[in-house]
């Protein structure tokens, strides 16, 4: 094994430096992991509050076994018939509203979002896309175009891309004191649609994470998506729900975060990714018969070399099994609620805590230097991350001002873990407030 | 297990129909595979001449073992330090010219080609891309734009995309009787560059497969790439070698197909994919320190969730080990040469064989109805594919007229396999010629 310093030196030489490290001034070298715990090269154990990809826990034996068994048998492409992809599509179908019944398997959330764009273009024959402010939908050229979080620093905003305000009821245009923020924010999308039409352009899709994460662990006000879908549909566009970060039961009460909006809401396209294969590159697009038919009608094959292969699907099936068998949705509900409760208690004590929000094991702790102005406490948030690392706990920040400490741990996160992290945060905030 | 008919019915319902099946009128249901052999649901064995992804052979035990061992230990993302990615980049580096020393790991050839485009844009600050006619570089929005094979049927040609003639010395502009086809074809790229400049535009990149495959198993004339690189560099652009189908020793004599062009040629960016993980979603971009630095200079992180994770890299390392230990490059050279020899003997006997070409285990058999006019024998090629299936041999066709029977088998393909397939083709062509 390379010494840590040598690893850093070799990495600086061999790997593109745009690929960043956590804790860049003193990165962690992780050699082993299990459940919600990471172990460094000295055997030190870290509590992992951020690996949402390792959804059912790092190195879950059921997942490894499923992969091994299928790798020994077959890993051909989907131009041959195979049962795994059918079983898997069936199982996913059961988690979704009935009309989302056609599946395309791909290798990453980015590939899924790119395909969603292609499907929407082909179905609507329109070009323009509306996205939420600060959104991030992936690293591909087409997705940087629809990610304000990226295009503002890179290529700029294309004429076919339109940005609607982030429906953030803590820091946004309409806040918790507004009588109907869902309607008010949905109306901002309507205004964007009107502007698109005034320019003589047409709406292809409204694209949004069901819980905007890079935007700062935001919960869309209930009713927002239903209303937006109504406006977007009237304009001839589609509603794409990006569930890459939020799907597979993370929110506890539901399998998909968009289901928090209620039964009267159904997206036209759902994209999924990160937690789907517990670390294995696996992602998917679900859509309707009509949209899939429009994509087929152009007569052009869509072939994804690795997408939906028997090993990926075996792993995907195993992840679904573990979520059910270990009641990880129940755990996410219970532990997530307890974590929020603990953090809300801290809020009464620490004025630096502006907001505690979330659902299931998707939780944000927003720090502010001033409760009235809600001035982002960016430095304090960075300090919390750094200090928690010294306590062997990994968290990170999000939001436009990087002042939201986020929690999106493996779904086996326990009550004790939640207690530990909130206790440590309590101490750290006390220190910060006293100037230490 | 679903009966085959039920699999087809379920698949038609659940999976987007743009995802096509081989032998669509009677697809194969493959349940098991080993080496170069596929087994259907009745235990019937098929010789696999087309699975270039399962590079070292289907279900190679060394690959399964490497995956299992690492899955049991750790599969975190690359924001943590880990040795596997460093060892793997080191090993890949040793196969490439010294200046290609910086790596980005991704999940598919499409992701790799998209990133190559981003790198080239960022480095050159130019927009225009020159591609070869009939090229296919991937299924993503950005890659359909640079794939004449796709964009002609879909969105059409963008203003920033320019198509140079395919340097096909059998069927193209300059043929085997031309004194210097390499120079002549390179000059067609020079003409495209001049046209780009006349339009007041600037060249970002020349993008080509090192052996154009969808174009019809084409060998670039030796010297072509060196000359094209010279022209492209003079115009301020980069040369991107797409090795997604052709890398990892398929050509036998060299590790990369671009190396067939000689030591004086080095691309600025190399993309790799399909065979890299023997079926596991793994791909990569290699480039120079300067290009990587330009990409870093914009200050924007590139994060690929699954790319370069410890499991992917362990699998990649195991693939490299097997290629070496089993001398699969030597095997590709020997068996590929023998296969071509056999097919060339058939050519003296069967006037329908217009051309036999290839290198290593990348071989094309071009069928024509007329030797002088070289009229594509599309129907006969389809018939060969169908009849070989009845003989339990899988091949497929490529080329703009789908009249090139292609061979790109797992690298463990044997002399006996080569003999068998050429014998069967002999019989089938005799039948076809006699009107059966």
Distance CA A324, CA A331 (A): 11
Helix, strand or coil for residue A126? coil
Residue-averaged pLDDT of chain B: 97
The per-residue pLDDT for B285 is: 98
Nearest to A245 by CA among A55, A34, A36: A55
Tokens at A69, concatenated: 């068994």
Do the Cβ atoms of B113 and B138 come closer than 8 Å?
Answer: yes
Chain B residues lying within 8 Å of A302, measured CB to CB: 16, 18-19, 139
β-bridge mates for residue B30, sequence order: B40
Residues 6+ apart with CB under 8 A from B251: B211, B257, B260, B332, B359, B360, B362
Do the Cβ atoms of B244 and B74 come closer than 8 Å?
Answer: no
Question: In Å, how far from its chain's centre is CA A254?
Answer: 15
For B304, the closest chain A residue by CA position comes to A139
Q: Please judge whether A71 and B90 are an interchain contact, meaning their C-beta atoms are less than 8 angstroms apart.
A: no
CB of B140 less than 8 A from some CB of A: yes
The per-residue pLDDT for B155 is: 79
CB of B91 less than 8 A from some CB of A: no
Please compute, for residue A388, the number of CA atoms within 13 A of its CA located in the half-sphere on the CB side: 29
- Chain B, 200-219: which have a CB under 8 Å from a chain A CB? none
Distance CA B40, CA B43 (A): 5
Q: What is the mean pLDDT of residues B118-140?
A: 98
Nearest to A318 by CA among A263, A358, A285, A278: A278
Instruction: Answer left, alpha or beta for residue A414, where phi above 0 means left and psi between -120 and 50 means alpha.
Output: beta
Is the model's pLDDT at A436 over the cut of 80?
Answer: no
- Of residues A17, A90, A279, nearest to B309 (C-beta): A279
Confidence at A123, pLDDT banded by 50, 70, 90: very high
Q: Please judge whether A139 and B63 are an interchain contact, meaning their C-beta atoms are less than 8 angstroms apart.
A: no
Tokens at A76, concatenated: 């051909």
The secondary structure element, H or E, covering residue A357 is: strand A353-359
- Of residues A19, A83, A274, nearest to B302 (C-beta): A19
What does the pLDDT look like over A56-73, one tens digit per residue? 999 999 999 999 999 999
Please compute, for residue A7, the number of CA atoms within 13 A of its CA located in the half-sphere on the CB side: 21
Confidence at B361, pLDDT banded by 50, 70, 90: very high
Chain B residues lying within 8 Å of A64, measured CB to CB: 68, 71-72
Distance CA A229, CA A182 (A): 12
For A4, the closest chain B residue by CA position comes to B81
Q: Is B291 exposed, middle or buried (0-12, 13-18, 19+ CB in 10 A)?
A: buried
Chain B residues lying within 8 Å of A292, measured CB to CB: 16-18
Distance CA A156, CA A308 (A): 34
Distances, alpha carbon A110 to alpha carbons A159, A186, A302, A404, B292, in Å: 22, 26, 16, 24, 21
Q: How far off is chain A from B184, nearest CA to CA, in Å?
A: 33
Q: Please judge whether B31 and A1 are an interchain contact, meaning their C-beta atoms are less than 8 angstroms apart.
A: no
Chain A residues lying within 8 Å of B85, measured CB to CB: 11, 15
Chain A residues lying within 8 Å of B89, measured CB to CB: 14-15
CB of A410 less than 8 A from some CB of B: no
Chain A residues lying within 8 Å of B63, measured CB to CB: 71
- Of residues A16, A103, A139, nearest to B102 (C-beta): A16
Q: What is the mean pLDDT of residues A340-351?
A: 98
The per-residue pLDDT for B366 is: 98
Q: Please judge whether B64 and A72 are an interchain contact, meaning their C-beta atoms are less than 8 angstroms apart.
A: yes
Do the Cβ atoms of B126 and B203 come closer than 8 Å?
Answer: yes
Nearest to B185 by CA among B146, B219, B217: B219
Tokens at A427, concatenated: 């101490």
Distance CA A167, CA A220 (A): 6
For A118, the closest chain B residue by CA position comes to B141
**H helices of B125-180, where?**
141-144, 148-151
Q: Is A385 exposed, middle or buried (0-12, 13-18, 19+ CB in 10 A)?
A: buried
CATH code of the domain made up of B4-56+327-433: 3.90.1150.10
CATH code of the domain made up of B61-325: 3.40.640.10
Give the number of beta-carbon pairs within 8 Å between A and B.
321
Do the Cβ atoms of A287 and A100 come closer than 8 Å?
Answer: yes
- Of residues A53, A75, A300, nearest to B150 (C-beta): A300
Could you give the maximum distance between any two Cα atoms of chain A, in Å?
67
Nearest to A99 by CA among A228, A239, A276: A239
Do the Cβ atoms of B69 and B59 come closer than 8 Å?
Answer: no
First CA to last CA across chain B, in angstroms? 37
- Of residues A75, A150, A274, nearest to B279 (C-beta): A75
For A312, the closest chain B residue by CA position comes to B280
Q: Please judge whether A19 and B274 are an interchain contact, meaning their C-beta atoms are less than 8 angstroms apart.
A: no
The per-residue pLDDT for A435 is: 82
β-bridge mates for residue B388, sequence order: none
Q: Please judge whether B19 and A114 are an interchain contact, meaning their C-beta atoms are less than 8 angstroms apart.
A: no
Nearest to B53 by CA among B287, B239, B213, B238: B213
Is the model's pLDDT at A243 over the cut of 90?
Answer: yes
- Chain A, 92-121: which have a CB under 8 Å from a chain B CB? 93, 101-105, 107-111, 114-115, 117-118
What does the pLDDT look like over A35-57, one tens digit per residue? 999 999 999 999 999 999 999 99
Confidence at A176, pLDDT banded by 50, 70, 90: very high
For B125, the closest chain A residue by CA position comes to A155
Confidence at B435, pLDDT banded by 50, 70, 90: confident
- Chain B, 30-69: which have a CB under 8 Å from a chain A CB? 30-33, 38, 51, 53-54, 58-59, 61, 63-64, 67-68
Q: How far off is chain A from B201, nearest CA to CA, in Å?
A: 18
Q: How far off is chain B from A217, nearest CA to CA, in Å?
A: 18
CB of B386 less than 8 A from some CB of A: no
The secondary structure element, H or E, covering residue B283 is: strand B283-287
Distance CA A124, CA A246 (A): 26
Interface test with A, best of B3, B7, B12, B15 (most A CBs within 10 A): B15
β-bridge mates for residue A37, sequence order: A34, A47
Distance CA A225, CA A159 (A): 24
CA angle B61, B65, B69 (to 5 degrees): 180
Do the Cβ atoms of A406 and A396 come closer than 8 Å?
Answer: yes
Residue-averaged pLDDT of chain A: 97
Residue A241 DSSP one-character state: E
Chain B residues lying within 8 Å of A20, measured CB to CB: 79, 301, 303
For the ranges A86-90, A154-158, B301-305, B418-422, the lowest mean pLDDT is seen at: A154-158
ipTM: 0.98
- Of residues B22, B102, B305, nearest to A53 (C-beta): B305
CB of B253 less than 8 A from some CB of A: no
Interface test with A, best of B109, B141, B309 (most A CBs within 10 A): B141
Q: What is the mean pLDDT of residues A275-299?
A: 97
Chain A residues lying within 8 Å of B118, measured CB to CB: 141
Sheet architecture: strand order including A393-394 = A30-34, A37-40, A45-48, A393-394
Distance CA A312, CA A282 (A): 6
Q: Please judge whether A107 and B292 are an interchain contact, meaning their C-beta atoms are less than 8 angstroms apart.
A: no
For A107, the closest chain B residue by CA position comes to B107
Q: Please judge whether A111 and B114 are an interchain contact, meaning their C-beta atoms are less than 8 angstroms apart.
A: no
Do the Cβ atoms of A56 and A433 come closer than 8 Å?
Answer: no
- Chain B, 298-327: which have a CB under 8 Å from a chain A CB? 298-306, 308-309, 311-312
Q: How far off is chain B from A230, nearest CA to CA, in Å?
A: 26
Q: How far off is chain B from A385, nearest CA to CA, in Å?
A: 15
Confidence at A257, pLDDT banded by 50, 70, 90: very high
Q: Where are the domains of chain A?
A: 4-56+327-433, 61-325
């Amino acid at each position: 094994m390379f010494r840590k310093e040598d690893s850093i030196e070799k990495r600086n030489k061999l790997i593109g430096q745009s690929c960043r490290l956590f804790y860049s001034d003193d990165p962690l070298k992780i050699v082993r992991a299990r459940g919600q715990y990471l172990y460094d090269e000295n055997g030190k154990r870290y509590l992992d509050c951020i690996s949402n990809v390792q959804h059912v826990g790092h190195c879950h034996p059921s997942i490894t076994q499923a992969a091994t068994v299928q790798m020994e048998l077959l890993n051909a492409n989907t131009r041959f018939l195979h049962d795994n992809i059918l079983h898997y599509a069936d199982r996913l179908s059961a988690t979704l509203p009935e009309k989302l019944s056609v599946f395309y398997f791909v290798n990453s959330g980015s590939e899924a979002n790119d395909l969603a764009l292609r499907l929407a273009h082909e179905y609507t024959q329109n070009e323009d896309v509306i996205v939420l402010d600060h959104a991030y939908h992936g690293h591909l050229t087409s997705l940087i175009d629809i990610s304000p979080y990226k295009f503002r620093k890179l290529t700029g905003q294309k004429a076919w891309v339109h940005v609607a305000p982030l429906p953030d009821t803590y820091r946004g245009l309409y806040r918790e004191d507004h009588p109907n923020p869902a309607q008010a924010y949905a109306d901002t999308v309507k205004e964007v649609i009107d502007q698109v039409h005034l320019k003589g352009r047409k709406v292809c899709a409204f694209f949004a994470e069901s819980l905007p994460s890079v935007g700062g662990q935001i919960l869309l006000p209930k009713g927002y998506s239903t209303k937006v879908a109504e406006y977007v549909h009237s304009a001839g566009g589609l509603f794409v729900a990006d569930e890459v970060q939020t799907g597979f039961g993370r929110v506890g009460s539901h399998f998909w975060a968009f289901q928090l909006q209620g039964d009267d809401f159904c997206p036209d396209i759902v994209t999924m990714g990160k937690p789907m294969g517990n670390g294995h590159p696996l992602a998917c697009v679900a859509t309707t018969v009509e949209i899939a038919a429009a994509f087929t009608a152009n007569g052009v094959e869509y072939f994804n070399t690795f997408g939906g292969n028997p090993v990926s699907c075996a792993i995907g099936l195993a992840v679904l099994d573990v979520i059910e068998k270990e009641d990880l949705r129940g755990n996410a509900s219970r532990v997530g609620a307890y974590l929020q409760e603990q953090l809300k208690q801290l809020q009464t004590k620490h004025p630096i805590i502006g907001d505690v929000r979330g659902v299931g094991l998707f939780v944000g702790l927003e720090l502010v230097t001033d409760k009235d102005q809600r001035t982002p406490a960016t430095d304090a948030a960075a300090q919390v991350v750094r200090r928690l690392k010294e306590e062997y706990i990994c968290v990170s920040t999000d939001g436009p001002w990087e002042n939201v400490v986020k929690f999106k741990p493996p779904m086996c996160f326990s009550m004790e873990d939640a207690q530990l992290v909130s206790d440590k945060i309590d101490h750290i905030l006390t220190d910060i407030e006293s100037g230490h």
